[in-house]
Structure 1
Amino acid sequence: MKVTFPHMGNQYVATKILLEELGVDIVVPAECNQEALNIGTQHSPESICLPLKVNIGNYMKGFKEGADTIVLTGSCGPCRFGYYSILQKEILKDMGYDDIKVILLDPPQGDYKNFIDSVTELAQTKNPYKILRALKKAIQILYEVDALEEATHYKRPRQKQKGLVDRYYDQFHKDVRKVYGYKETSRVIEKARQDILNIEEEPNREILKIGIIGEIYTVIEPFVNLNIEKKLGDMGIEVHRSLKISHWLTEHLFLSPLNLTMEGKTRKAAEPYIKTMIGGHARETVGHGVRYAQEGFDGIIQIYPFTCMPEIVAQSILPKVETDYNTPYLCLIVDEMTGEAGFNTRIEAFTDLLQRRKELRHNEKLLSGN
């Protein structure tokens, strides 16, 4: 068995560790790119959401290098992500990949049996110690790589020499693919994080803060969101991302089956607008939007794939949040037809608005003597 998996932001680093620690032969997927999107678009239903199309293209490199098995996570609630494993298998069959095995790691939702069976099939061992040890190391790597990303979000708008953050971050992605196992991977992550944190900052630079909310794949995967975090950082804006893979995994793998949650504050913030889970991350999108507004962020950007129903519901609610908290809100919808020039224009116009608002508020304070 040779395993590949979808690419989503830095998730590949932790998945690589999980499978390496289990002794599974793997093909690490290439970064998402236009070629992968073109392949997926050609073979997928036109109206299906963008992540599935990119996933299909992702798998091609793995198949060329001998992969015969795909591992992916499942979902819960009314979201098409929960059908990806079935639909992708049918698409791949139509493409001539009849013998590809799909191992689905569904969130347990109170019943760990199916989850354990899937992990056992993937690991090809029933040794619980080996499985738990590998899972623990993978989760630790997730938290470490999320901390690295947070360092890039903080330093990019403040760096004195433009481009240094991306130089270290790009080098990290090259280095992490070359190493094997938890210790070496952790060392590479920490070195990159320290290099970025040690970058000299431009003193007294005015920094705007924007919260990024929306569907998890488009929020996390830079190819799909057209590198929005880098674009904003280069404009002098500190980005805060509402969704992190480490938190998602902890929430759905460990806490949710026990009726516990890390999202209590977020759900409470969303209650005046949406009281229940309707699928995807709609409630979290609204809740995080409210919390960003309450915390005084300069603006909020929602990003999601075209036809994503949970996010469409959230989009209909967020203008009310914008009005209630006087916090500017921008919605960006992406699909295979999204043009980067128009995308950039909307971001630039939005950030110009935020900068102007901040200047006006500053001038008002000066005039009032406060």
Structure 2
Amino acid sequence: MKITFPHMGNLYIPLKAVFEELGAEVVVPPKSNKRTLELGTKYSPEGICIPFKLTLGNYIQSIENGADTLFMWSGCDVCRIGYYQALHKEILKNLDYSIQMVCVEPFKSIGEIKLFLHKLKRISSGANYLKLVTIFKKGISLIQQVDALDEMVCKVRARTEDHWTVDKVYASFQEAVSQSRGFQETTDVIEQYRRAFTEITVNTSKDIIKVGITGEIYSVVEPFINQDILRKLGQMGVEVYCSVTASEFIREQIDFLPFISSEKDEVHRAAKPYLDREIGGHARHTIGNTVRFGEKDFDGVIHLMPFTCMPEIVAQSILPTVAREKRIPILKLVLDEMTGEAGIQTRVEAFIDLLKRRKNFTKAGKDQ
């Protein structure tokens, strides 16, 4: 078995380690790039969202590199992501690719976790359930470690004058972690580079702009689709906080377990005056986290959404009211295969300039 999975930010790091611990041969797809998007767009339905197209492109590139088993999340939910695997399977079948699909349902009960462990057992060729539970827990821990490192990088990049070193160290981390194998080696690499980032000189007293990123999870965490916006904002001296991450998404899936907690309830309470029910995707989180950013005195919010994403379109219509009542500026960026880097760069630079002027004006008013 040669198993692969689509890219979504750094989620490939824990997935790779999990499947290696199971004894499977892992084919990590090339980082999403222009060819990935071209392949996905060529064979996808025209009006479907760009995450679908990129994940399909990831699969095709992995199959070209020898993969025969595809891992994907699924489920009957109000977001179209639950149907990706069925459409992907049909498209790949029409392209004469012979593959197997391993799909994971949302974790809404102990029974669904047991079902997921059963699927892992098939991948591992019969590992006992104690080992599978241990691998499952270590995988969740690894997701949290990766997200914690990314959060640290965002803070360091915003507060240092040596952005080149930050980018160089992060690129080195990406190379090292891609060569690591299993949990222990991967954890050691993460810890090594965590220490490396603590050694970069930062200005802790720097008066920085703080921006929250909200929106559909794939658009927020996948740098190819969002034009690497986190790095660009950091190089402008902006501290970025992502409201949706892979680790928080997993915690929300399993927070019915007594030893797991998430921010889901707080986010839902914040969103309730504007949106009091689930409508799919991360729309409720977009509203709730924007409210929370306003209450925590963030300077602004950037809302990222794929073109044709219905939940985020609904959220987009509510956000002007949130912006007015919470007095927080919001920049909306709609992303698809036609999105140009120059256009995104210009709009983001103008938005950050607005936030800086607004902050200086507010500070001057308080000083008088």
Q: TM-score, normalised by structure 1?
A: 0.95
User: Offset at 1:261?
Assistant: 5.4
Identical-residue share of aligned pairs (%): 44
Render the CA deviation track for 1:180-204: whole Å, top value 9, x for unaligned.
1111111111111111122101464
2:36 paired residue number: 36
Q: Is the 8 A contact 2:283 2:314 kept in 1?
A: yes
> In the alignment, which residue of structure 2 is the partner of 1:102?
101
Question: Which stretch has the larger CA shift, 23-32 or 248-257?
Answer: 248-257
Distance 1:217 1:256, change over 3 A: farther
Q: How does 1:353-368 map to 2 (within 5 A)?
A: 353-367=354-368
How far apart are 1:122 and its partner, in Å?
A: 2.6
Matching residue's letter, 1:313: V
Number of the residue aligned with 1:148: 149
Gaps of 5+ in 1: none
Secondary structure of 1:209's counterpart equals strand
Equivalences for residues 230-241 of structure 1 within 5 A: 230-241=231-242
Q: 1:29-71 deviations in whole A, cap 9, x for unaligned?
A: 2211111001100110111110110111112332122210001
More moved, 181-190 vs 249-258: 249-258
Q: CA deviation at 1:91?
A: 1.1
Establish whether residue 79 from structure 1 lines up as the match of residue 67 from structure 2.
Answer: no
Whether the 8 Å contact between 1:255 and 1:261 is mirrored in structure 2 is no
Q: Distance in 1 between matches of 2:61 and 2:219?
A: 21
Report the equivalent of 2:279. Answer: 278
Q: CA RMSD in A?
A: 1.8
Deviations 1:117-140 (A, max 9, x none): 333333332510121111111111
Cα separation, 1, equivalents of 2:260 and 2:230? 33
The Cα offsets for residues 105-160 of structure 1, whole Å up to 9 and x where unpaired, read as 11132332543433333333251012111111111111111111011110101113
Query: For residue 184 of structure 2, what is the amino acid of its counterpart?
Result: K
Matched, 1:132 2:133: yes
Unaligned runs of 5+ in 2: none
SS at match of 2:123: helix
Residue 258 of structure 1: how far off its partner (Å): 11
The 2-side partners of 1:257 and 1:320 are apart by 37
Which residue type is aligned with residue 231 of structure 1? K
- 2:69 equivalent in structure 1: 69
Which structure 2 residues correspond to residues 1-370 of structure 1 after superposition, within 5 A?
1-97=1-97, 99-110=98-109, 111-112=111-112, 114-125=115-126, 127-202=128-203, 204-255=205-256, 262-367=263-368
Q: In 2, distance between residues paired with 1:85 and 1:331?
A: 29
Runs (4+) of structure 1 exceeding 4 A deviation are 256-261
Shift of 1:262: 3.5
Cα distance per residue 1:254-283 (max 9 Å; x no partner): 538999853111100000000011111111
8 A Cα contact 1:49 1:307, kept in partner: yes
Greater shift in the superposed pair: 131-140 or 295-304: 131-140
* Structure 1 residue 323: Cα displacement: 0.2
How many equivalent pairs are there? 366
Aligned 8 A contact 1:107 1:115 in 2: no
